[in-house]
Amino acid sequence: MKKTKTKNSRPLLTVATLLLCSVLFSSCGNIPSKDGSVWKIVNTPGFGNANNFSVVAMTEYNGKLYALTRNQAQGGEVWRYDGTTWEQVLFPGGITNGVYGNPRINNVWARMAVFKGKLYFGFSSGLQGSFLGSTGCEIWRFDGQTWEPVISDLKDVDEAGTITSITGCSEGDGETTARFTDASKSWQNDMWVGGFLQITSGEGKYRKFRIVGNTVDTLIVQQNEAAGTYNAEGNETEYTVCSEKNYNNPFPAYSYTLGSVKVGDSYEIGIGDDESGFGEVWNKTITAMVIFDDKLYVSTGLNYEYGGQVWYTENGDDWTVTQSALPVPPPYCYSSFGNYHSSSAYPGGLKPVSSSVTDLVVSSISGTPILYAGGTGTSGDRGGCSRMAKLTDTGWELIVDSAIDENTTGTNENGFGSSPTCGTNQENFMPWDLEVFNNKLFVGVTGEGARVLYTDTGSSEDGAWHYSVGGTSAYPNGFDGYRYSDGNYQNLSVNLFAFGNTMYAGIVTQYIPEYTIPPDKAELKGSQLWRTRDGVTWTQVTDNGFGDADIIIFEAFATYNGKLYVSGSKGASSTPSGLGGAKIFCMMKPPEE
């Protein structure tokens, strides 16, 4: 029988005060902007660590501002600010990075939300692409002193042991699966099917294998490090390999190495939706955390194998996955809004249209509060580019999609009316960020230059969406139309944030050194900030990263003590590259209007 799960309490938090930014920056002075507002840097760049090249989320909790970093080298960090001093919040056992020292928890995207009096952290692992390179997203909660795993391999241990023999674990050996034996065990047959084997020691530490069967003492495992590797018969073609192996992701371009797995390595078995990734390691990232109907909703991304998901909890402990309103059978109804291309290379012959649920927001534009979601659009017979959906009593209902109605025109089609062949960073490629402002639902879009669209109805009808930036608006794609010498727009995407009677737009600059974008780093002008009072007329706040050309993203907007904060991140949005430590800016004086 499967062992009964018990709650695993975590040790008391320790906090080390490392930086006194009020002292370090007392002489730095204020930074004027183009719109008359005044800003100030309030942290040491990267909190003294250049590997902290992004701050991906900030949230106020119990009188302090919390900041969550992206760190590709050591794993993400957490810092907090009392208005004068920054201090690092250590993880259980005094760990500084990666929650429990796991460097793969890098936080390319990550989120925070206050729910039921505690601060919930959504940690992410891995990068964009069809290769995994991830241990799965995780959720932890924090009460100001104590950490507790919520969705994590550390929530509990279902089984553990030591590998005593390995067979069939090499490339081209005739079987895609391998067998790991622990001679000390006496299991029931197939009791671990659906779970994951996690290597916990040795060179292959953190590697995971899907369990497809077991005998009394042997686990039959399947490697799943690449998406879309099924054959026409519906069988996985990827070999399970125990030796060290290097993976080269085709797009975006990056490499990583999995260490070897050997006899004598220790392991754990995790099964159930409380494990990392909600029990599915391909849920690499947490893309949004919002409160709706007194529940915490969380979305996942970069799931190229099965598609992004949305989960919710009423109490923080028990989680339920949402499903599609489309007539799609389980388990496919729980991912990608139930929306799939036909492709024999994927499980069930279904390739997810939305590999990521990019963002969630609650809006009452239709008259009652509704949860809206953005989704990516992958290549396939359903057409590429942006999707939008709303949660109804019967599940997720698509309101922007290629099958939304009988015609093929209008802003309710895929990509808000983009062509069926729309692909990466073309037209209206991805609904990057959602925001509610001025009784309208706004979408910051990644595409051929950053764009902003809005709707005042939230309906699935033709003409429901309108351009605020790019497209048919008064502003060119990318807000200012600036292109690098190779023709690519500098301003690729946009983060939106409503602050009082103003909505701010933080630019995601196109910086992909692996593809020499821009051709010359000197072409980087620094990220931009824009603002609007009515949603259609925009004013530029800064055009050069407040004087720092290495700031390539303004993100993680937050309100703290009545002031606006934003991070000036220096990490590429889709690759492991960075340009130094992130800065955090506070608006000391708003513009006079």
pLDDT tens string, the chain, 593 residues long: the values are 333 333 333 333 434 444 443 334 333 579 999 999 999 999 999 999 999 999 999 999 999 999 999 999 999 999 999 999 999 999 999 999 999 999 999 999 999 999 999 999 999 999 999 999 999 999 999 999 999 999 999 999 999 999 999 999 999 999 999 999 999 999 999 999 999 999 999 999 999 999 999 999 999 999 999 999 999 999 999 999 999 999 999 989 999 999 999 999 999 999 999 999 999 999 999 999 999 999 999 999 999 999 999 999 999 999 999 999 999 999 999 999 999 999 999 999 999 999 999 999 999 999 999 999 999 999 999 999 999 999 999 999 999 999 999 998 999 999 999 998 999 999 999 999 999 999 999 999 999 999 999 999 999 999 999 999 999 999 999 999 999 999 999 999 999 999 999 999 999 999 999 999 999 999 999 999 999 999 999 999 999 999 999 999 999 999 999 999 999 999 999 899 999 999 999 999 999 87
Cβ atoms 410, 428 nearer than 8 A: no
Cβ atoms 126, 108 nearer than 8 A: yes
d(CA 510, CA 578): 12
- Listed residue (46, 6, 94) closest to 578, CA to CA: 46
Confidence (pLDDT) at 28: 53
H/E stretch holding 417 reads helix 414-417
Cβ atoms 448, 427 nearer than 8 A: yes
The tokens for 14 are 């320790």
Cβ atoms 386, 337 nearer than 8 A: no
- Listed residue (11, 155, 156) closest to 90, CA to CA: 11
Q: Is the peptide bond before 252 cis (omega within 30 degrees of 0)?
A: yes
Cβ atoms 138, 99 nearer than 8 A: yes
The tokens for 451 are 């764009």
Is residue 171 packed enough to be buried (19+ CB in 10 Å), middle (13-18) or exposed (0-12)? exposed
The ranges assigned to domains in the chain are: 129-139+275-589, 159-270
Cβ atoms 326, 333 nearer than 8 A: yes
Confidence (pLDDT) at 29: 76
The tokens for 293 are 């109907």
Cβ atoms 261, 197 nearer than 8 A: no
Question: What residues contact residue 287 under an 8 Å CB cut-off, 6+ apart?
Answer: 109, 111, 299, 300, 301, 308, 356, 357, 358, 359, 360
Tokens 């622990």 correspond to what residue?
A: 182
φ/ψ (deg, to 5) at 93: 80, 15
* Pairing verdict, β 159-162 and 266-270: antiparallel
Domain 129-139+275-589 -> CATH class: mainly beta
d(CA 176, CA 300): 28
Letter for the amino acid at 562?
G
d(CA 32, CA 44): 19
Question: What residues contact residue 281 under an 8 Å CB cut-off, 6+ apart?
Answer: 132, 134, 135, 136, 196, 208, 210, 224
Q: 232: left (phi > 0), else alpha (psi -120 to 50), else beta? A: alpha
d(CA 413, CA 391): 18
CA distances in angstroms from 265 to 206, 207, 218, 243, 478, listed in the order given:
11, 11, 15, 13, 51
Tokens 């291309």 correspond to what residue?
A: 341
What's the half-sphere exposure (Cβ side, CA atoms, 13 Å) at 587?
23
Cβ atoms 102, 91 nearer than 8 A: no
- Listed residue (369, 327, 325, 334) closest to 354, CA to CA: 334
Return the beta strands (E) in 20-63 as ranges.
31-32, 38-41, 52-61
Confidence (pLDDT) at 22: 38
